[in-house]
Amino acid sequence: MTASYPNLRLRRARASAWSRALYRENVLTPADLIWPLFVTDGKEVEEPVASLPGVSRWSVDGIAARAKEAVRLGIPCLALFPNTQPGRRSDDGAEALNPDNLMCRAIKAIKDACGSDIGVLTDVALDPYTSHGQDGLIDEAGYVVNDDTVAVLVDQALNQAEAGADVIAPSDMMDGRVKAIRMALEMGGHHNVQIMSYAAKYASAFYGPFRDAVGSGGLLKGDKRSYQMDPANGEEALREVALDLAEGADSVMVKPGLPYLDIVRRVKERFEVPVFAYQVSGEYAMIEAAAAAGAGDRDALVLETLTAFKRAGCSGVLTYHAAHAARLLGA
């Protein structure tokens, strides 16, 4: 910069609303949002999640209604997570392969209700289906085994694709699962089913309310540090992203969101691919708690944090605030 004050006054461009809009570098729209939804059993069921104020589990008919709402709001994609009944959970997570499980029924209900007007992103991991709460199969020592788990994840992904899923999102963090899933999708004729890989998923303290929502929190034995990433590591995230892209991921995700915006920026600058972030349940709950305590205006907090993701380089954000934010943006 060669100009100096008073020839250059940066406040000139901030003086009026029209000027601020004209100079704005990043613009948030409903099309930037993916809305995570929790599916539960029954009919006409809405179960509020106590640790996530304003978020509920919905029965399949309610999920279809949320899909129609999302279309009206301009939200392009839903992300589904099942709260599997305790009696259907097992050590091997076999319910994940049931073509009539909650996930598959919800996918079909959304497609019946909205057709191609909205995308459906489905989580691939075994923690909503296992009796021990881990994302994969475990050995006698409780260690999550990699290759045997990948074989099950492939079948889970195919099950979801055949039900109508548009985006397969493996969140398990097993080595080699993206390549195995991509090969299976190609061989199964699902050439246009995308993979959004949870490439940089950290062993975070911000996941607690999510585990309550899918019913795995009280079941979890041990922790997930043998497969989820160390929060202290950044270079490792770039290695994970590089591997997943080489194996066939169409886009990558960083999870959690706000505490890892540095990772989002590094991934975007290094690879120049679509990068998404998950504003996870703990982040959502903190905003809601701050607003309830009078520490900040809820609407302003929601929009500022979501804009931060865009500024960092995100193509989109998974957020429980999606519907609320879309209403604010459409106002």
Return the number of other C-beta atoms located less than 10 Å from residue 274's C-beta: 17
Catalytic residue among 201, 224, 268, 310: 201
- Residue 172's SS3 state is coil
How far apart CA 256 and CA 254 sit, in angstroms, is: 6
Burial class (CB in 10 A: 0-12, 13-18, 19+), 14: exposed
Is 47 part of any known ligand binding site? no
Q: Is 201 part of the annotated catalytic residue set?
A: yes
Return the structure tokens found at 309: 């993701």
How far apart CA 258 and CA 251 sit, in angstroms, is: 19
How far apart CA 327 and CA 116 sit, in angstroms, is: 22
Q: Is 255 part of the annotated catalytic residue set?
A: yes
- In degrees, rounded to 5, the angle at the alpha carbon of residue 80 between the alpha carbons of residues 205 and 88 is 85
Where would I find the H helices in 77-219?
102-114, 147-163, 177-187, 208-214
Query: Up-side HSE of residue 277: CA atoms within 13 Å toward CB?
Result: 25
Catalytic residue among 224, 255, 268, 310: 255
Return the structure tokens found at 313: 């380089």
| The residue count for the chain | 331
Taking each helix axis as running N to C, give the angle between helix 235-247 and helix 177-187, from 0 to 180 degrees, rounded to the nearest 10.
20
Q: Point out the annotated binding site for Mg(2+).
A: 240
Q: Point out the annotated binding site.
A: 240
Show which residues are catalytic.
201, 255
